[in-house]
Amino acid sequence: MPGSGGFAENPLTTNPAVKIYPAVGRLNYPHPIFSKCCKANVFQTRSGIVRVRNNFHPVWRASDKAFVRLRMPDQSAMRAATIPWAIQMRATSAEEPSRLVQSLTGAILGCGGWVLSRGANDMGRISMLFEFERRSCVDIYGLLIAAGLELSHSGHIRFTELCQCTRSQPPDCGVEIASVDLDIQTLPVEMAGGVQMPGTM
């Protein structure tokens, strides 16, 4: 309807729900292009899947240098470390070889030891390799003397050191293993009195 002055009234100005800024003279509606730009700057698109390290994704062991190789410890070195007392002894005896081997084997087994190998040749030479727990070192030393063996000087010293170290150390060292490589040279009874036996020097 025409108003006063002959002009038609603007419906936007007469509607109380529409707000008009007097200085600007336009409606306060957000521009669609400006709205899209704001959304593009504020919200970021989802990136690719990030793999989180957890118990289901363990880290594999690797070297930091290409020329370094992972090596397992030497088994022979580990065995040498577990048997620190490895004694090599020489002795002489006037006993018959087969009888001496049987008596020594039974005595070692009776003291809780283990005979790993034994043998004799036609020249009367006996080789025995046996092991025992260190707490039985005095018994082993005694049975070697009781069997009629003439141990070498170095053999007496080594066995004496073993017995003294075992006695002075804590009791738990008694379960450690000692190894003896025994080499015996047997001589006939008629030669034992007149010939100096090797290994007694």
Burial class of 201 by CB neighbour count within 10 A (0 to 12, 13 to 18, 19+)? exposed
- pLDDT value for 77: 46
Average pLDDT over residues 137-157: 93
Of residues 109 and 1, more confidence is placed in: 109
Residue 90 φ/ψ, nearest 5 degrees: -120, 145
Name, of 65-69, 93-97, 195-199, the range with top average pLDDT. 93-97
Q: How many CA atoms lie within 13 A of 26 on its CB side?
A: 4
- pLDDT value for 143: 93
**Cα separation values, 148 from 92, 100, 104, Å:** 9, 9, 10
Could you tell me the two tokens for 149? Answer: 């063996």
pLDDT greater than 80 at residue 164: yes
Of residues 89 and 21, more confidence is placed in: 89
Average pLDDT, the chain: 71
Of residues 190 and 122, more confidence is placed in: 122
pTM exceeding the 0.75 threshold for the entire prediction: no
**pLDDT one-digit tens code per residue, 12-56:** 555 555 555 555 445 555 555 545 554 545 555 555 555 555 555
- pLDDT value for 175: 83
